[in-house]
Amino acid sequence: NAFKYWLQVGDEQFNNIDSACEAISESGTITVIDDADVRFIQNFTKNNDTDRNITFDLNGHSIETTQQINNHTNVTIVDSSNGKTGKITATRVDVLVNQSDGTLTINSGEYTSNLANVYGIENNGTMEINAAHITGPTAGMINNGTLTINDVLIDTTPIGIKNYRGSITFNDGRIDATDVGISKDGGYVTVNGGYIYGTNYGLGGSESGAEVNGGVVKSTNSNAIYTYYKGDNKTGDILV
């Protein structure tokens, strides 16, 4: 039932994130109170032009959506359930999109996209991941913003993270990809720890640089780390 109440703020219940946000003027918690089948675009919104500070508690529930969930404000995703079984699954879109005006912190949850050429999570703003399990048939994540990863598991995907114009600081976590662990097609990647594996390349791409200060970057079939220049844009330096 796409119209049932599945969210709660205080004593009020809602059937969409937009309306739940309207119940929060400055700071508050939106709690998922039931499994949900979502058929409409969902948005975490500002209060006019002022950011809200929202905690989104998955509370152990499953959200399946055919439309993307967008963030335009300050959101922290948690899971207060004992089993930490909360998850969001998208059947034809990116699961979760942090827009350029959004700040998103992920402390729990499983994020899965089931359709080719879409992603588990897309970041265009500022994002910090402290715990998450991310999968996708094309790539687990795509990054165009500022992404800091302190712990994550990205697996069952050809590419762990596609970095286009953004910056990634990978402090800890694990990427197990069937092609490339982190594909750097722009921006900059800093690896301070963790484990990054791609069957063909662990870390590689063009038109961007990378710095590896620690951790494990590994490949089975080819180079663990590679870069190449495109035209005269010689920005593909790697520091190890």
Q: How far apart are the first and last CA of the chain?
A: 52
Residue 222 pLDDT: 87
* CA dist list (Å): 78 to 29, 31, 141, 148, 224: 10, 10, 19, 17, 34
Contact call for residues 143 and 119 (beta carbons, < 8 A):
no
Residue 157 pLDDT: 95
pLDDT > 90 fraction of the chain, expressed in percent and rounded: 81
pLDDT (mean) for 150-178: 96
Mean pLDDT of the chain: 92
| pLDDT, tens digit (0-9, with 9 covering 90-100), for 195-235 | 999 999 999 887 678 899 999 999 999 889 887 654 333 44
* 228's tokens: 């190449």
> C-alpha 76: how far from its chain's center?
12
Residue 228 pLDDT: 67
For residue 195, the surrounding DSSP H or E stretch is: strand 195-198
One-letter amino acid for residue 161 of the chain: I
Residue 239 pLDDT: 57
Contact call for residues 53 and 27 (beta carbons, < 8 A):
yes
Closest alpha carbon to 121 in 134, 106, 104, 108: 134
